[in-house]
A and B are shown apart, each in its own frame.
Chain A
Amino acid sequence: MVTFLFYVFAAVAVGGAIGVVISRSPVGSLLSMIATLGSMAAIFVLLEAHFLAAIQIIVYAGAIMVLFLFVIMLLNLGHDYQKDLKVGAFSLVSFATVGAMAYVLSRQLGAADLSDSGPGAAAIDAAIAQHGVVGAIAQPLYTTYVVPFEITGILLLVAIVGALVLAKKNVA
């Protein structure tokens, strides 16, 4: 059952990702992207990462995508969309490269034993049993990975300052 659901959501995720690239209008791309992010959340649930799934829905599919949608609708009202993906040598090369990478990855993963979900699966199960689903993320986030966490704070500050500088209205 889990395997079947995984393939369903994986197919939706890949289909959505292709839709983002080939869709004619930005709004269409965006809706495809929401489908991708939503099925990613479902895959997180299948991996028993319920907290990540909820965050994925709230932050990405919810807040960020809605913001994108607002911006695109406001900027493009009343404009015609033109298809700008040209089928040429470059797109063929790109798809061929992605295909080759997917082939190598599937060979690698196919060779491995997939009965459990990877080398860290046991450790993750133990952490969830000890701290709960949220605690299993919070514990390393504020201990082992506290430095990256703080640097992320600086990163957000820099991004906000940069955006404010560039978007400020008054330029004498």
Chain B
Amino acid sequence: MEQKNAKGWLYLLPAIAFLGVFMVYPLVDVFVYSFEEGYNSASQTFFGVGLYNYSYVLHDPYFLQALKNTFLLVIITVPLSTGLALLISVGLSSIQKLKDLFQTIYFLPYVTNTLAVGLVFMILFKRTPYTDGLVNLMLHWFGAGPIDFIDGPHWAKMFVLCFYTIWVVMPFKILILTSALASVNQDYYNAARIDGTSRSRIFFRITLPMISPMLFYLIITGFIGAFKAYSDAVAIFGTDLNAAGMNTMVGYVYDMLYGDSGGYPSYASAAAIILFAIVLTITCINLMVSRKHVHY
């Protein structure tokens, strides 16, 4: 038995070592950092313990900008992408021909490098002295524009960011919803057809309740994902997000840690903890709402 005990732990040793060093210790440490005032990363000294880091972060205009951007992004992209994915999935499940082809195409963004394709989006939207870009060309056909989406007004930049974020998150949502729809027993639809149920009633009274657990799962993961947005923004606006006014909360954390404005792990920690307090709160609210609305 003694030997058995040792063996079990031996097999676990690598996992425990890695998780301990890169997960458990940092988790404790990030709280420690966030309360150490005036931490100097070169000398590794600090001169006080308190809430100053939080207060600094909460008064930092860059952080407030990032907070605002992140909330906008969440509020716009989560409902839009989930709704759009739902529509597409319903359409997809109602056809037979070409279904595989569509599914394959829709999944493509999932396997592409966010940074690389973001560059393509930037080019599509960008206005340079040489060209107005493709999107502006299209706007021109409808008599609008030209708008500088990359270096122009904040709402235009926000639009591009939301557009790209939705483009990136759609594959996962379509995939999950399509398989949720496929798992609904066909008999329910047959029963509804025999009763002469209208399409919209079938959708709202049968389909939606039946897939509601998956829908809520997507909304919750969607919220969490959108709060952690960063790469998408970098892909379109470059690494200096503060200058572009398009920073996100995660971006703020990294910028505090490293780069031109870096070297402040305490501020970064405080910002990271604020971010996760928000995410945790929203997730809890989501769970409470879903418990009320998901019936079985």
> Do A and B belong to a common assembly?
no
Q: B residues engaging A (CB < 8 A)?
A: none
Q: A residues engaging B (CB < 8 A)?
A: none
